[in-house]
Amino acid sequence: MQRKLRFGMVGGGRGAFIGAVHRMAACLDGTAELVCGALSSSPAKARASAMDWFLPTERAYASYTEMFRRETRLPPSRRMDFVIIVTPNHVHAPAILAALEAGFPVACDKPLCLSLAEGKKIAAAIRRTRLPFLLTHNYSGYPMVRQARVMVRAGRLGRIRKILVEYPQGWLATRLETTGQKQAGWRTDPKRAGAAGCMGDIGTHAHHLAEYVSGRILQEVCADLTRFVRGRKLDDDGNVLLRFDQGVKGVLHASQISVDEENGLSLRIYGEKGGLEWRQEEPNTLIWKRLDSPRQILRAGRNYGHLDEHARSACRLPAGHPEGYLEAFANLYVAFNRDLEAWRTGRKLTGDYPGIHEGLRGMSFLEAVVRSSRAGGRWTKLPFG
């Protein structure tokens, strides 16, 4: 790379959790810098947030529309290179479409948008504009998740049989959304979150992780979604039986009412010859279960000799120096930034990060589980293969 990439941000103002995450992740490796933002729909908060991040006043925009319009007019040497979208879900589609229209590559938080139909419009715009697009299914940035994927692909587990993926959280065990808590507010509101609550917010991460590591395609679900907290309009818990291609079976469950669970995403996958287990809260360990040998503990670390290259290169530190959520998140930006550089210089994109395909898979998953559950728990095919 010859220079740092410049990005703008839509959403992510003061008090937002995920905006700061994207900023830290995108900048961690010193290859990108924030140059402008439409950081909040509230002008006062947008300004204050821009000051927190040392943005020049003239690049603290009041809306993404304004940002795209005015950035477009800047000389290429100053103009932002790409945009990061970290708003509630309902803004994703319009903001993405506007950004692409204005010629800006996009990194967007998950889930892709509100519906598969909306997702297909975005897909069309991406195809048309050929702009790089990143959807931050960030858990696939963890080195040991990548290691798992490589091992499955290499056949070290044999033919896959069973996948168990779960995502328990407890933060919505009470009716937090009525207390003014911002995150809870929009995530429990169908207008801003979409047709699924818990499943949209974290079930899609679990689904993506299962497909990413296993390489198998989920085909059919049988879902039992529940709203445990009185007055809530969207599911805060869900249990789903899974059928993948090639006869692989599985279970996915996710919850926001599992008291005192923090961010318990975990994956277990079993094949004819072995199994793998990974837990997000202890992300630097991957347990390898083997048919004819003792269990092995694989560890993250850039100097750790027993990892495949795709995993080791995702580590910044030697083994035993814990890397976490931000570093994994940053790994998506490492790959995306590489593609941005390729795009800027007219080279071929690698697409080695979650993008529009994964976004459509997620929307497809959501539509199937919602439909299955509404039908009382009937096996339902995913609409998008």
- Touching its own copies, residues 35-54 (CB under 8 A): 53-54
Question: 29, 189, 308, 341: which one contacts its own copies (CB under 8 A)?
Answer: 29
Helix (H) or strand (E) holding 46: helix 43-52
Is 193 within 8 Å of 302 (Cβ atoms)? Answer: no
Q: Which stretch binds its own copies (CB under 8 A): 144-152, 184-192, 235-243, 357-365?
A: 235-243
Nearest CB to its own copies, comparing residues 17 and 245: 17
Query: Strand, helix or coil at 254?
Result: strand
**290 is a site residue for its own copies (CB under 8 A):** yes
Span 184-213, contacts to its own copies by CB under 8 A: none
* Shortest Cβ 119–its own copies spacing (Å): 26
Dihedral of CA atoms 301, 334, 207, 205 in degrees, nearest 10, equals: 90
Does 299 engage in binding with its own copies (CB under 8 A)? yes
Please, are residues 132 and 332 in contact by the beta-carbon 8 Å criterion? no
Binding mask 249-278 for its own copies (x = CB under 8 A): xxx-x-x-xxxxxxxx---x-xxxxxx---
Closest CA to 288 of 108, 157, 140: 157
**Antiparallel, parallel or unpaired: β 274-279 and 266-271:** antiparallel
- CB nearer to its own copies: give 131 or 151: 151
Q: How far is the CB of 101 from its own copies (least distance, A)?
A: 29
Contact between 175 and its own copies by CB under 8 A: the answer reads no
66 binds its own copies (CB under 8 A): no
The token pair at 385 is 């293969």
Listed ranges 17-25, 57-65, 88-96, 336-344: which one lies at the site for its own copies (CB under 8 A): 17-25
Q: Note whether 26 and 53 are within 8 A (CB).
A: no
* Total of residues contacting its own copies (CB under 8 A): 90
Cβ-based neighbours of 223, under 8 Å, separated by 6 or more: 199, 238, 239, 240, 241, 368, 369, 370, 372, 373, 377, 380
DSSP letter for each residue of 330-345 = HHHHHHHHHHHHHHHT
* Strand arrangement of the beta sheet that strand 274-279 belongs to: 285-290, 274-279, 266-271, 160-168, 249-255, 237-244, 218-226, 380-381
* Least distance from its own copies to the Cβ atom of residue 153, Å: 18
Given 14, 205, 289, 361, the residue binding its own copies (CB under 8 A): 289
**Residue positions counted in the chain:** 385
- Least separation in angstroms between residue 321's CB and its own copies is 4
Token reading at 279:
């837990």
To the nearest whole angstrom, how small is the minimum distance from the Cβ of residue 285 to its own copies? Answer: 9
In the bound complex, what is the minimum distance in angstroms from residue 375's beta carbon to its own copies?
11
Residues 313-352 that bind its own copies (CB under 8 A): 316-327
By CB under 8 A, tell whether 150 contacts its own copies.
no
Shorter beta-carbon distance to its own copies: residue 129 or 239 = 239
